């Protein structure tokens, strides 16, 4: 496995969601700022008076978030706005100001209350797999990989054999930074974002590095990763598209503890 990646930092990277196929990924993405300590989440409604060109039905509601960063709240708020709606963020105070009609503001208020919860536990299943084109006959059997995942790998890829190098589970919480050591000197680093609708989570500052004894640490991947609930995401590293072997990292967001009703 020590020669499964090139000796230079130039590593071919591809990313795929097992149900959707493969796509190229780009370079680094900035991390969202983490949440700061603030007063309990609250909202204030004020009338809009005399704003030129605005409807008389438009109101202003300001939300102060206690636990979550306003940048992440933006993704929750935007789909709920009417065509008249607008949003302003104040990251220093961790507040979000929403201007819209009362119906839209009611939707936003409900969504913000659900969003600004205590950090939930998060579980992510991790598998490190070696994929190869067999050079001997008969082809060696696949080892250690669950049947459903193996079927998807065979459907997506041209490799003939798949061997599980390591398997484990990351147990963390929203907003926490994670460093996860894997086999053969590979390590994952990322920060967990907030769970969206119980179905999606973002890993910001996502990095794969390799640190072998007596050698300098090598960064192989830096990106932002979005995981859907129970949708395996496959990240592959190869020398080039024609390489006869690849290192596959499979991530599966399993679940977060559900919120208690009325919280």
For the chain, list residues with pLDDT below 50.
1-4, 6-11, 16-55, 258-263
pLDDT for position 257: 57
User: Would you list the DSSP string of 185-217?
Assistant: GEEEEEEE-PPBTTTEEEEEEEEEEE--TTS--
Q: How far does CA 196 lie from the centroid of its chain? A: 10
Beta strand pairing status for 59-64 and 12-17? unpaired
Sign of the dihedral through C-alpha 165, 169, 175, 178: negative
Q: Identify how many contiguous H helices and E strands the chain contains and give both numbers.
A: 3, 14
Give the pLDDT of residue 90.
Answer: 92
- Whole-number pLDDT of residue 194: 82
What is the rounded distance in angstroms from the CA atom of residue 182 to the CA atom of residue 212? 12
The two beta strands, 59-64 and 95-100, are: antiparallel
Roughly what angle, to the nearest 10 degrees, separates helices 102-115 and 70-77?
Answer: 130
- For the entire predicted model, the pTM comes to 0.64
- Contact between 12 and 246 under an 8 Å Cβ cutoff? The reply is no
Q: What is the pLDDT of residue 30?
A: 32
CA distances, 101 to each of 84, 96, 143, 166 (Å): 8, 16, 58, 53
Residue 40 has, within 13 A of its CA and on its CB side, a CA count of 0
Provide the CB-side half-sphere exposure for 241 (13 A, CA). Answer: 4
Give the contacts of 237 (CB within 8 A, at least 6 positions apart): 4, 5, 11, 12, 13, 208, 220, 221, 246, 247, 248, 249
Determine the pLDDT at residue 23. Answer: 29
CA angle at residue 46 from 42 to 48, to 5 degrees? Answer: 145
Q: Give the CA angle between residues 95, 99, 102 to the nearest 5°.
A: 115
Displacement of CA 90 from its chain's centroid (Å):
24
* Dist CA 206 CA 85 (whole Å): 33
Label the pairing between strands 218-228 and 200-210.
antiparallel
């Amino acid at each position: 496995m020590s020669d499964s990646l090139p000796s230079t930092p130039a590593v071919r990277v591809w990313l795929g969601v097992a149900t959707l196929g493969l796509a190229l990924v780009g370079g680094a993405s900035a991390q969202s700022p983490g949440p700061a300590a603030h007063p309990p989440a609250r909202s204030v409604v004020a009338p809009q008076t005399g704003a030129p060109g605005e409807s008389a039905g438009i109101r202003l509601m300001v939300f102060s978030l206690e636990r979550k960063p306003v940048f992440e709240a933006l993704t929750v708020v935007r789909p709920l706005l009417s065509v008249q709606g607008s949003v302003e963020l104040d990251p220093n105070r961790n507040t979000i100001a929403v201007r819209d009609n009362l119906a839209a503001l009611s939707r936003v208020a409900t969504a913000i209350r659900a969003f600004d919860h205590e950090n939930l536990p998060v579980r992510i299943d991790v598998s490190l797999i070696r994929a190869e084109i067999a050079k001997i006959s008969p082809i060696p059997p696949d080892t250690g990989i669950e049947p459903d995942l193996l079927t998807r790998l065979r459907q997506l890829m041209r490799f003939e054999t798949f061997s599980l190098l390591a398997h484990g589970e990351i147990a963390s919480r929203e907003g926490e930074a994670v460093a996860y050591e894997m086999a053969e000197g590979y390590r994952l680093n990322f920060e967990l974002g907030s769970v969206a609708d119980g179905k999606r989570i973002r890993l910001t500052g996502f990095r794969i590095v390799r640190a072998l004894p007596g050698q300098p640490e090598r960064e192989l991947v830096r990106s932002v990763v979005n995981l859907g609930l129970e949708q395996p995401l496959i990240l592959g590293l190869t020398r080039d598209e024609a390489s006869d072997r690849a290192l596959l990292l499979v991530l599966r967001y399993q679940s977060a503890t559900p919120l208690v009703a009325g919280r």
